[in-house]
Structure 1
Amino acid sequence: MEMFDLLAQRARVTPDRLALEDLHDGERYNYAQLNERAARLAAAARQQWGLREGDRLAWLGHSRSEFFAMLYGCAKAGLILVPLNWRLAVPELEVLMADCQPGALIFGDELADAARALGSAFTDLTLVALDQPVGSERHYHQDLQQVTPDLSAHPEKSPDTPWYLLYTSGTTGRPKGVVQTFRMMLANYLNIGLAVNLTGEDVLLNVLPLFHTAGINLYSSAVFFVGGAVLVARNFEPQQALEILEQRATIFFGVPAVYQALLEQPGFSGERLRRVRSWGCGGAPLSLPVAQSYVEHGIHVRTGMGMTETGPTVFLLDEDKVIEKIGSVGRPQLLTEVRIVDRDGRDVPDGEAGELLIRGPNITPGYWNRPDATAEAIEADGWLHSGDVARRDNDGFYYIVDRWKDMYISGGENVYPAEVEKALEQHPAIAEVAVVGIADERWGEVGKACYVLRPDSHVDEDALRAHCRERLAGYKVPKVFQCLPALPRNALGKVTKQELRNGAE
């Protein structure tokens, strides 16, 4: 199987069908127009921004339809797109930029200050303003208009050619760029598209951030395979989302916090939302009260599970099992194998917990510039260590019951305690600190920071929260702070984080 030009092929098959609409500015592309836009980006990247095959092109901005022109334009030009998490602070972004070393950065006005700070830090970086350029910055739209696009399909290439990078963090806090490929995107389409019966008549409302695998692949990339339409929201606005779900959308995917917010909106009703035929949820478990509330409205929200490293779809719960198997992520989908093993790598029987291993064409080939991390995570025979503790029941349904490591998920975003601890340790009043994830009705999990003060020091919660916000994305800032005389430790001197979690119950 070779990597073919999906967008050029789709433009040939259904040129006039709506592909994208930006709900913020109303910009619309049919498939022919989107293919032309992507071809123009490919030409501008080479001719105007000086990029060559294999170079990285970074994007910093909120969700917009133009992102997909960048994504498919990079495929045409042989570039690697790097969508940056706009929630990160500039020092965090600098770490990612130093790792992937992009030749150019496209940015939106809403992130202009951060982009220009990065431009000052990386002097060889070409800044490309999507909206209003300043000084020597390139103007995205003008550059695209000044080139002649090549509308033919790009040459075939290996399906494992790096296409885009999505950054996640290791438990040490050092970021890892997860390589995403055409093979992974195709496998994801077969895993999720067949499971929810996607067709060219489907319309997706996408409210998830496009620096995240869910925003790109659940279900946008799969919708493009079948020739459906994607409506891109700049940010999640519950009332706007309800209106689109009522009037236009046929499929929807969100994280638990999104479903909770929709449920709280005035006028929410299943009768109003009958147009939507498929509802999906991931990022964290959907609580029983929320799932039951949706069922009472005639809506069955199907929970699934995946990772950035898995493209992402691995599991999906059957629609008719939403309540019976509440808490389950369902069963592994068509192109994915899974195992649950003990610490010695032996399969465990049903009902027992162990580490979840995953294998299939949806697995990343590895981490950018991190052969050590790749070798640690992916075995020679292709099994990926998920880092999650899972169990399978006697009916073949899987449950994620804990973290193999200490990561927790807040509002669908992974948070790594070591990274938060490192930021808090920089405060002059803090002697030592440990961060754990604790349950939260709205966000699934939030951070709890337990700290010990230095002698004769004092600090209040507001000051610690402000300290964190200067150094971390907002969702990483702990919600709960607890001052302790000492951190609990075992006989080997290691902090016993379970005691800290239990203290929050």
Structure 2
Amino acid sequence: MADTVLEIAEAETVTEVVRLHAINTPDTAAFTFEDQEITFAELDAGSNRAAQGLMSLGVQRGDRIAYLGKNHPLYFEILIGAAKIGAVMTPVNWRLAAPEVAYILDNCGAQVAFVGAGFAEMMEKARPDAPRLSHVIGLEATGETATDYCEWRDSFPADNPGVHLGAGDDLLQLYTSGTTGRPKGAVMTHGSILSSRDSTGRDGGLRPWQEPVEGDVTLLAMPCFHISGTGTGIGTMVAGTNAIVLPEYDPTQALDLIENYNISKIFLVPAAIQIMLNHPRVAEVDFSRLKFITYGASPIPLELMKAAMERFGCGFVQMYGMTETSGTIVALDPEDHRPEGSPKMRSVGTPLQGVEIKIIDDDGNTVAANTVGEIATRSSKNMSRYWNNPDATASTIDPEGWLRTGDAGYLDEDGYLYIHDRVKDMIISGGENIYPAEVENAVYSHPKVADVAVIGVPDEKWGEAVKACVVVKDGEEVTEPEIIAHCREHIAGYKCPKSIDFIEALPRNPSGKVLRRELRAPYWEGKERAVN
């Protein structure tokens, strides 16, 4: 086992990780889905066939392919297959509206898209606006698409394509919400993804909750169009352990799987933890095998944490990171989680191995401890760039490799990081990032709207909720339901306003910029931080 762990730690690519496990532990389950196991040997062979199939369709090194569908082990097989020829997986958020899906397909230039069950119609709606998309392959034999993935894959040999890859090669492209209303494709390399898994001590070694443990079983419940979902799947592949794949988060299914598969690790957003705690069956489930629940995307209220610690009886780890950092860069360890609460529990923890964090002012100068500024980070975990967007890349990553996160916070004397606010006008609702500009564009396209500003307000269940402050055109009348229904035609449901304030005029500064903080202030009064 020790030799295998060392081999994996020295692997430069995720494809090499899969190949090594297929050699050393071929019969070990890599993924389980609806009681069907995919072993590492099957994953390696299947991804070789997928690679051969992609080459037959003209996909080359550096090309992007797309996936539109819920979580499925075959998504990871296709990701690895694409990687074996140097192509890059771009999973598309299945909750998006057709125009948003089309934008991502067109922006990444995908020639081939794989579609999960139930999403063929969405793909057909988006396809006319993605002219380079020439092949659509259905993941399951549903009759919705002309080509069935398993039949297509099995028509090719299981020969490794033999393409030489390195740590610097692109692996994954995830789209993040954009300040201008258009999402950006964050490009992650094999090296940036694998750098979180270094257990050799080169970067200080792993923390105990990060260590791969033979026999661990992880519940993959978060969506693979986020780094939390794909990162979890890649993490279990690196560890050589089994991931039980849930198509989407459902508390009833999650509780059943925890019980039936002796789940030992889960990543959840706080809203998902709350939903599970409120489930009527939660008191009947045996959680004794559960070792760690990792959580992130938004802070967790102390009372919710107390209830979770009491019910689940496992270690909790808060994670802070972003798509642009290939996931977690800062973590609050289990020993810092105390039922009675502590000042450290207001933090998101300390930087992981190899991660540098500093707090900077508007001019980029480092500020003193306990002084609020923008959080900047530098490590091998940082993305390589935004896809075909050098200006956005340059404004985010400086020549010395420091990435500006857009979050405002401070470091205390012990190196713990505290999130105070957001520099960018981003809303996080139920773990989903939403930029006001995206919502404003949708609201403003309503013919009766004269002006609009979108803000995030506290929400007990989802952390934050989207609120639109709308100025109606003179002589016109429009209702809240009408505007929300209009938005649903253009953007994903989770981005649409949950409430609307109709106001006479938006507050602006002398240069015309909307004063969002003035709009937000009444809703955040009494809160110790301006994020929830």
The residue that corresponds to 1:46 in the other structure is 55
C-alpha contact (below 8 Å) 1:193/1:222 kept by paired residues:
no
The 1-side partners of 2:402 and 2:388 are apart by 20
Aligned equivalent of 1:314:
329
Q: Aligned residue for 2:202?
A: none
Q: Does 1:467 align with 2:486?
A: yes
- Equivalences for 1:394-405 in 2 at 5 Å? 394-405=413-424
Q: Which amino acid aligns with 1:80?
A: V
Cα deviation per residue 1:126-178 (whole Å; 9 max; x = unaligned)? 111222476983321111111111148x4432311111210112211122111
Q: 1:439 maps to what in 2?
A: 458
Q: How many Å separate the matches in 2 of 1:52 and 1:490?
A: 50
Partner of 1:201: 215
**Larger CA deviation: 106-115 vs 1-10:** 1-10
Corresponding position of 1:187: 195
**Partner of 1:74: helix, strand, or coil?**
helix
Alpha-carbon distance, 1:123 to partner: 4.6
Aligned pairs, number: 500
Once residues 135 and 416 of structure 1 are traced to their aligned partners in structure 2, the CA distance between those partners, rounded to angstroms, is: 33
Give the TM-score normalised by the residue count of structure 2.
0.90
Q: Does 1:77 align with 2:85?
A: yes
Match of 1:368 among 387, 390, 394: 387
Q: Per-residue CA shift, 1:83-125, capped at 9, x if unaligned?
A: 1111111111111122111111111231110112233333542
- The one-letter amino acid paired with 2:296 is G
Specify the alignment match of 1:220 in structure 2: 233
Structure 1 partner of 2:99 = 91
> Judging changes above 3 Å, is the alpha-carbon distance between structure 1 residues 306 and 60 closer, same or farther for their aligned structure 2 residues?
same
Shift of 1:2: 4.5
Instruction: Flag the 1:390–1:272 CA change in 2: closer, same or farther, 3 A.
Output: same
Q: Which amino acid aligns with 2:210?
A: V
Query: Are 2:216 and 2:265, in contact at CA under 8 Å, matched by a contact in 1?
Result: yes
2:28 corresponds in structure 1 to 17
Kept in 2, the 8 Å contact 1:183–1:361? The answer is yes
Aligned counterpart in structure 2 of residue 488 of structure 1, from 500, 507, 512 = 507
Aligned to 1:295: 309
CA contact (8 A) 2:264 2:292 kept: yes
**1:286 maps to 2:300:** yes
> How far apart in 1 are the matches of 2:224 and 2:130?
24
Quick check: 2:120–2:144 contact (8 Å CA) kept in 1?
A: no
Q: What CA deviation, in whole Å up to 9, does each residue of 1:42-95 have, x standing for no partner?
A: 011112x33222221111111111111011111112211111111111111111
CA distance in 1, matches of 2:75, 2:370: 43
Equivalent residue in structure 2 for 1:166, among 164, 174, 194: 174
Q: Cα offset for 1:305?
A: 0.4
Question: Structure 1 residues 369, 5: CA separation in 2 closer, same or farther (over 3 Å shift)?
Answer: same
Structure 1 residue 193: deviation in Å?
Answer: 7.2
- Would the aligned equivalents of 2:102 and 2:127 in 1 still touch at CA under 8 Å? no
CA distance in 1, matches of 2:79, 2:53: 14
Give a deviation string over 1:197-238, Cα, whole Å, max 9, x none: 222311100111111100011x32122112110010011110
| Counterpart position of 1:411 | 430
SS class of match (1:320): helix
1:250 aligns with 2:269: no
Shift of 1:256: 0.9
Q: Which residue of 2 aligns with 1:138?
A: 147
What is the alpha-carbon distance in structure 2 between the residues aligned to residue 460 and residue 34 of structure 1? 52
Amino acid paired to 1:17: T
3-state secondary structure, aligned to 1:434: strand
Q: In the aligned structure 1, how far is the partner of 2:207 from the partner of 2:47?
A: 24
Relative to structure 1, is the Cα distance of residues 283 and 448 closer, same or farther in structure 2, using a 3 angstrom cutoff? same
Q: SS state of the match for residue 119, structure 2?
A: helix
Quick one: structure 1 residues 433 and 356, their matched pair in 2 at CA, closer, same or farther if it must change by over 3 Å?
Answer: same
In 1, Cα distance between the equivalents of 2:508 and 2:271? Answer: 34
CA distance in 1, matches of 2:380, 2:148: 38
The percent of aligned pairs where both chains have the same amino acid is 36
Structure 1, gaps ≥5 residues long:
none
Counterpart of 1:118?
Answer: 126
* AA in 2 matched with 1:456: G
Judged with a 3 Å threshold, the aligned counterparts in structure 2 of structure 1 residues 12 and 197 are, in CA distance, closer, same or farther, namely same
Q: Is the 8 A contact 1:200 1:223 kept in 2?
A: no
**Distance in 1, Cα, partners of 2:181 & 2:303:** 34
Question: How far 1:196 sits from its partner (Å)?
Answer: 2.8
The alpha-carbon deviation at position 329 of structure 1 amounts to: 0.9
Query: 1:340 maps to what in 2?
Result: 359
Q: Is residue 286–residue 327 contact of structure 1 (8 Å, CA) maintained in 2?
A: no
Deviation at 1:394, TM superposition (A): 2.7
The answer to whether residue 315 in structure 2 is matched with residue 304 in structure 1 is no
Instruction: Give the superposed CA RMSD.
Output: 1.9
Shift of 1:301: 2.4
Whole-angstrom distance in 1 between the partners of 2:480 and 2:144: 42
Deviation of the 1:272 alpha carbon: 2.2
**Could you say what secondary structure the match of 1:171 adopts?**
coil
SS in structure 1 opposite 2:421? strand
8 Å contact from structure 1 (residues 294, 300) kept in 2: no
Point out where structure 2 has 5 or more consecutive residues left out of the alignment.
1-10, 199-204, 525-532
Q: State which of 10, 35, 39 in structure 1 corresponds to 2:44.
A: 35
Q: 1:194 to 1:359 in 2, by over 3 A?
A: farther
State the distance in 2 between where 1:339 and 1:18 align: 41
* 108-117 vs 353-362, which moves further: 108-117
Query: Secondary structure of the equivalent of 2:210?
Result: coil
More displaced stretch, 51-60 vs 379-388: 51-60
Give the distance between the partners of 1:499 and 1:136, measured in 2 at CA.
50
The Cα shift of 1:246 comes to 2.9
Q: Distance in 1 between matches of 2:284 and 2:377?
A: 36
CA distance in 1, matches of 2:152, 2:381: 35
